[in-house]
């Protein structure tokens, strides 16, 4: 499956003059399987900080541990992450 996101650099409200990156997942994601689609509906599977899907495995008082994934945890399909502003396959070499 392909996950297309938009990367935005925004001013950090916590630190004046600093910025942070925010990754917004596009809505037209075609999920590889219903299990993963339902998971993302139920939990926030998308990490806005890293621009990847993560699976929440445990929540502690220090924060929660979210391992980022490159493969669907349900069917094992490869997840392709693509920045909408920087498509990987735009530069076609002219003959």
CB of 32 to Zn ion, least distance (A): 4
Instruction: Report the phi/psi class of residue 44: left, alpha or beta, with left for phi > 0 and alpha for psi in -120 to 50.
Output: beta
Closer CB to Zn ion, residue 19 or residue 38? 38
Binding residues (CB under 5 A) for Zn ion: these are 32-33, 36, 72, 74-75, 77
Closer CB to Zn ion, residue 66 or residue 72? 72
Closer CB to Zn ion, residue 11 or residue 67? 67
User: Distances in Å between the alpha carbon of 3 and those of 9, 27, 28, 30, 47?
Assistant: 19, 9, 9, 8, 12
CB of 70 to Zn ion, least distance (A): 12
85 Cβ contact partners less than 8 Å away, ≥ 6 residues apart: 6, 7
CB of 78 to Zn ion, least distance (A): 10
């Amino acid at each position: 499956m392909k996950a297309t996101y938009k990367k935005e650099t925004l001013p950090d409200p916590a630190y004046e003059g600093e910025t942070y990156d925010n990754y917004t997942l596009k809505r037209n994601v075609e999920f590889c399987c219903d299990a993963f689609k339902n998971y993302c509906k139920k939990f926030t599977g998308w990490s806005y900080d890293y621009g990847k899907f993560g699976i929440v495995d445990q929540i502690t008082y220090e924060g929660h541990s979210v391992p980022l994934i490159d493969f669907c945890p349900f069917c094992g399909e490869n997840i392709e992450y693509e920045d909408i502003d920087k498509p990987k396959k735009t530069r076609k070499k002219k003959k």
